Amino acid sequence: MSTIKKFSVVNILILWLLSTSFAVFGAEADQLNTVRVISFEPDPKVISELDTRQDINATGLPWHILHVESGVEFLLVPSGEYLQGAASDDPFANRQNEYPQHRVIIPEPFYLGKFEVTNKQMRSFRAEHSSGEFYRDENIDLDGDDQPAVDISWDDAKAYTAHFELLLPSEAEWEYAARSGVLTRYPWGNDLKAGQGWGNLFNPSMVKRLDMNWDAFPWEDGFDGSAPVGSFKPNEWGFYDMVGNVWEWVEDDFFDDAYEHITAKSVNPEPGKSETHTLRGGGYGNAPRASSLPYRFGMGHDVKHDANGFRVVLPINMIKIE
């Protein structure tokens, strides 16, 4: 992990303010999440777009931080707006729940986990946690420390976030960060062949191993189950495994027709209340249509599955620099 680099006078002042209880909008010091700065300014090798780096720097907040208690690394997501949902000419779109495409406003910056929550991090909360093995093949182990925690229900994810005073991302926040400025179905574009190296996705060897008649991505990624987080390329904002590896629970309840009821330029919209909750991003065992940026799926709040995990949000007004 890198140490704090040379900061400007403004950066140093902000660090001092964040190390006190005076810069957290009225929150008491004992309610704050202690964080350690890894990098104040965004790395241009990670975030190549100058405008995005400037938007992050304009917040005055550190870009890359470590949440000390949980061990989770976070990256700052700038505020902004984007088109949520599938494009009208997307041949893979589920027209019932990925349409209509609509503009969404994310009004405030927020911190999102750089990686999916790992087994090691989950065991720091619940020592008995085990992700076990893939239910279709018990020789595929899912329980390594650096693999994403799975066999996780929405209730489990909420218990974890409550313990560490974190949040699940809203569905709108998740897709905003996952897209990181792109309008295509996948982080790399729309051509499946161009996706090699971008994620742990359903591959031909797994089709053969499981004797399944499913579509697969047209290349091998080296994993038949989940991969250690961060094994592949990050997206344009530095987040890993936003497509593939494991499904990720988000805060929102799930409705097939949720997008039909969202008005133009909605601010971080919430769909309502349901008995099912939303999963995003697809996983290691899903066809290309599902492991994509706009695909939406729902399960009951107490359902556990060996491809369901999560990543977390840290509100900007609840941090204190160590």
* β pairing state of 266-267 and 102-106: parallel
Bond prior to 100 in cis (omega within 30° of 0) = yes
- Quick: pLDDT tens for 273-301: 888 999 999 999 999 999 999 999 999 99
**Which residue spans within the chain are E strands per DSSP?**
33-39, 64-67, 72-77, 80-84, 102-106, 110-113, 133-134, 137-141, 247-253, 266-267, 276-280, 296-300, 308-310, 313-314, 319-321
Distance CA 160, CA 202 (A): 28
- pLDDT at residue 3 is higher than 60: no
CA distance to 111, 117, 251, 276, 301, per residue, from 254 (Å): 23, 22, 9, 5, 10
Looking at residue 21, its pLDDT comes to 42
Given a contact cutoff of 8 angstroms between Cβ atoms, the answer to whether 188 and 123 are in contact is no
Confidence of residue 251 (pLDDT cuts 50, 70, 90): very high
What structural domains does the chain harbor?
A: 88-314 (3.90.1580.10)
75 pLDDT higher than 80: yes
pLDDT tens, position by position, 78-118: 999 999 999 988 888 877 799 999 999 999 999 999 999 99
- Split at pLDDT 50, 70, 90, the class of 171 is very high
Looking at the predicted structure, is the pLDDT value of residue 8 above 70? no
Confidence of residue 253 (pLDDT cuts 50, 70, 90): very high
Contact call for residues 62 and 224 (beta carbons, < 8 A) = no
Q: Is the pLDDT of residue 139 over 90?
A: no
d(CA 268, CA 302): 25
Rounded distance between C-alpha atoms, residue 176 and residue 104, angstroms: 9
